[in-house]
Structure 1
């Protein structure tokens, strides 16, 4: 299979996950909700982050003629109506996980309203508003304008809380660089409950070095932190007031992640130059968050030889040659890694017997699909960057176009 075809085949099958694994019962309170993952034991759990990726996936499906405009419009409108009227929220922030049918907080998880997952959902909703306009834009406006960003703002320490309980208030902190970059865009750009521009200066920028690469790394070093915001916001031509270009930073982080796998191939059979991109994923013993050093000491304990294809595939805009080579390697050498929805979530050759995931995770399929689309056409980037709230935040932050 040629490079071009493996990319398109993975994109189509990733789209199929979002289209097929949704609640399509129009009489259900949870219409439009999308599964968190297809792995066993998660059959009734929806993820709002998965829905965020799924809303953008619908647009890709229309543009690639996988579904009709009418089908996409109807699904999108119904999904946003579900979030406006039925989904549990506090101050406009939704819970990570929902019951697929009722849209209520899923009882199987100790959960709280999530700022990062709400942000990922809103990112998808923004692309829907820009693509469809009309009624869909109106639904997005109502959902976005009720989000009380100030509720999640720790004024004394100038950063976002990581979680929130109604009884005790905010807890935890987004105090270092990670996947939260579009939280600043949406919070600063809010027309109703904005946070001050200075919040963007509240998190620590800690330069890390691995091999020949110097970059800002997150404490855990997982590659998704360098990808998720970039699925929607095109950082490529923007430099912040401190001179940081976050796109360039993700290029270095992706190359460092690949180099770590190369350097570790004598330690783990799964790791090498075409099997790389350590990121959060399913592992042989459950969900893990491995990463590239330097990182917290406990991350090293999660290194077990597991690799997720979305690590390399989700970096295709940063490392096109290396990402495509990895995708071809996975397809050509690991047939057990290929399934109904394209690449299964992860695999591990360092356990007995060799392990392959039995399903996929929505956010992993999402980062793969959106980054492939941005690599090929820039569609999702173009829609997101057109949004007036996004443009307002860029202006307030004083970011300069290079």
Structure 2
């Protein structure tokens, strides 16, 4: 056996020993009162925890110095309120089987939360170190929240190591007919690895154990050289990730797996199946099927591609710069039809709309885009690391819209209706738009997640700095063939 295999086996054994010694009894929560779960005291359980100094020493050889640039107060406040979502809209009961599960959404009118999503959990795990470094929570509060959440994750229902997209808040079991999701599992794994690099010790051991259980090769078609897009126990696999989108993270995570790897051929096939397009003042770039901005952002929230070139000398960070420029140009074009858009109001992405949740898109796109004048602030804000000179004026505009504000920052989306010059042929919502505009009642976890992580990366590069320390991530880069300029 190789040294790498033996090391991986040792990690799994150590994880098992830790659970045998320290895991609390995993009983089912009998209360169905979600409000009780969400408002349970966030104070850490009365267990002995490592000191900040001891854990920091175990995490990195050289002490990490957090340093952030100055930003307008409203930018920092949106980041803080987005963090608050992940700290509060969560099962905070340490005795619950669903401890640490983060709700997919929260209704600001009824003050109720929906089922948890594992992608929100992943963003929530990454949120904790951000909260600590910004002094929004204490180190020990964060440590206990993360450790308890990882214990919940390790005991959750899985299929070949993959997790259901939606789970209920109190028991962390499959919600409704939710699919076993490869992309949402990957987002959660990114949060797991981020937390492991930050805290080290038991959290890192447990986190890497969770990662190593994911059977990436099971969710992969050797015939098509593509990952399947979805799976349910009732219907099996459906669709393929057959072009560039938010799944860029899959190829890196899967390549580095000790036991269930999927090699570079999957990445190569993704590029062969993708198309380059151009719109407005952008250069040509690899374009996603729906043209939604989140497809150019989610992998970048964790993975630092700023100076990474693949074997074709393609740079994915620049790819997202071009996609952001094109999205703004498309918003300017559509301002003749929709009041929502302008040079400081742009960035279509998936969000709630007057007629329900939709993947709103921008040109260029591979498929037919959806547009009806609805805009999510997280679309442009998620591109703040790519084109800050375009996003900051947009941020200022969003801040000026009083009806867009909530206790967790900007509401998910808004639609100001049609202009007087709107073409009779444009798509419009079925639901009438009020004179003062339509505003979503909800905030959505994944939209708050991309907002939080990208603002922090813009301010400090903190998520990138910590996440990229992972040997798993570094090995994935090497196996895909990335070269880091300056190394």
**1:94 and 2:160 aligned:** no
Alpha-carbon deviations, 1:232-281, whole Å to 9, x = none?
00010001111110000000100110110011111111011111110000
CA contact (8 A) 2:289 2:367 kept: no
Alpha-carbon deviations, 1:124-160, whole Å to 9, x = none?
1111000001111121122111110011110011010
Alpha-carbon separation, structure 1, partners of 2:314 and 2:180: 31
CA contact (8 A) 1:3 1:324 kept: no
1:281 to 351, 357, 360: 351
Q: Which residue of 2 aligns with 1:127?
A: 194
CA contact (8 A) 1:240 1:399 kept: yes
Q: Which residue of 1 aligns with 2:391?
A: 323
Task: Give the alignment's Cα RMSD to 1 decimal.
Answer: 1.4
Q: CA separation of 1:44/1:304 partners in 2, compared to 1, >3 Å: closer, same or farther?
A: closer
Q: Which residue of 1 aligns with 2:460?
A: 377
Alpha-carbon separation, structure 2, partners of 1:19 and 1:205: 38
Of 160-169 and 217-226, the range deviating more from structure 2: 160-169
Q: Which residue of 2 aligns with 1:390?
A: 473
Of 190-199 and 220-229, the range deviating more from structure 2: 190-199
Q: CA separation of 1:167/1:265 partners in 2, compared to 1, >3 Å: closer, same or farther?
A: closer
2:113 to 43, 52, 57: 43
* 5+ residue gaps, structure 2: 1-69, 418-432
Matched position secondary structure for 2:361: coil
Deviation at 1:169, TM superposition (A): 4.1
* 5+ residue gaps, structure 1: none
Deviation at 1:166, TM superposition (A): 4.0
CA contact (8 A) 2:197 2:467 kept: yes
2:123 to 53, 65, 74: 53
Of 231-240 and 34-43, the range deviating more from structure 2: 34-43
Q: Which residue of 1 aligns with 2:434?
A: 352
Alpha-carbon separation, structure 1, partners of 2:361 and 2:221: 28
CA contact (8 A) 2:117 2:166 kept: yes
Alpha-carbon deviations, 1:82-135, whole Å to 9, x = none?
0001x221011000000000110012xx32210000000000111100000111
The TM-score with structure 1 as length reference comes to: 0.96
Alpha-carbon separation, structure 2, partners of 1:271 and 1:53: 28
Alpha-carbon separation, structure 2, partners of 1:326 and 1:294: 21
Matched position secondary structure for 1:38: strand
Matched position secondary structure for 1:170: strand
Deviation at 1:3, TM superposition (A): 5.1
Matched position secondary structure for 1:79: helix
Alpha-carbon deviations, 1:211-238, whole Å to 9, x = none?
2322111010000000000000001000
Alpha-carbon deviations, 1:346-377, whole Å to 9, x = none?
11001234101112100101101100111111
Q: Which residue of 1 aligns with 2:301?
A: 231
Q: CA separation of 1:401/1:29 partners in 2, compared to 1, >3 Å: closer, same or farther?
A: same
Q: Which residue of 1 aligns with 2:447?
A: 364
2:211 to 144, 153, 163: 144
Alpha-carbon separation, structure 1, partners of 2:204 and 2:216: 20
**1:106 and 2:175 aligned:** yes
1:202 to 269, 285, 297: 269
Which structure's CA Rg is the greater one?
2
CA contact (8 A) 2:281 2:329 kept: no
**1:311 and 2:393 aligned:** no
2:323 to 253, 264, 277: 253
1:212 to 278, 281, 284: 281
Alpha-carbon separation, structure 1, partners of 2:165 and 2:235: 19
CA contact (8 A) 1:32 1:78 kept: yes
